[in-house]
Structure 1
């Protein structure tokens, strides 16, 4: 299975890959998102180290069951060959109604078919009030005219 755009990445194709990843994660569809990764993909996400489709799908399912009304913005940081680095922020609330904003960086490595083989994430988060939220679009894909991270001062 091929997942364009394929490496080696240009600036345009790397930006497209980042936006496609953002769109996928904003769908909160764990089964669909998992298809963007190799069958033996290796992750580091905080203190969890899922490997392979089953573990990644289980991780994402737990995440989106816990992180309610999740909205994410990713931004290309740099790229080269078959690797892309991004920075991102996302907002969500827990089941008590407390809102959070998380900030992070990811390093991605792709196979020749454009599937992500390795994902290393570093994430920090803090509580915010509902009034401090900056991501105000209906659940799902971020509209093209919604500000990005730089525009929002993040």
Structure 2
């Protein structure tokens, strides 16, 4: 297996490789779902949004919070990983980006364990760099350290 991130143009919700696959993306800790990459996920499957909202609603009795991950099976051998790596959402009144790199790092460590247990490859957009306001030069090394260096194949998709 490759130790480098593979970059491609295409739709991260439609990974073409055979075998078990996980589509990873970053969600916020505010229970908000509806913009960015989640819109593409919701147009394909209802389960990731429904599971995220339930996870958020029941947060007093579960592990929901920054750094947590939720794996949702959407098809045979295909999962969506909701990674809580964003504190709140960006607003007009704040200049601070909601991305939390330490939370993304923690979530990627858990994702690595899950991917290896499932013998799955991981597919994603440039997580944490859209509405979360992160910088790829900070996220990419986390992915390399937590996933590709642990022999988990990763493909990053840029829309054409």
Whichever structure has more helix as a proportion of its residues is 2
Between the two structures, name the one with larger relative contact order (CA 8 Å, sep ≥ 6): 2
Common fold by TM > 0.5: no
Using the size of structure 2 for normalisation, the TM-score is 0.30
Using the size of structure 1 for normalisation, the TM-score is 0.31
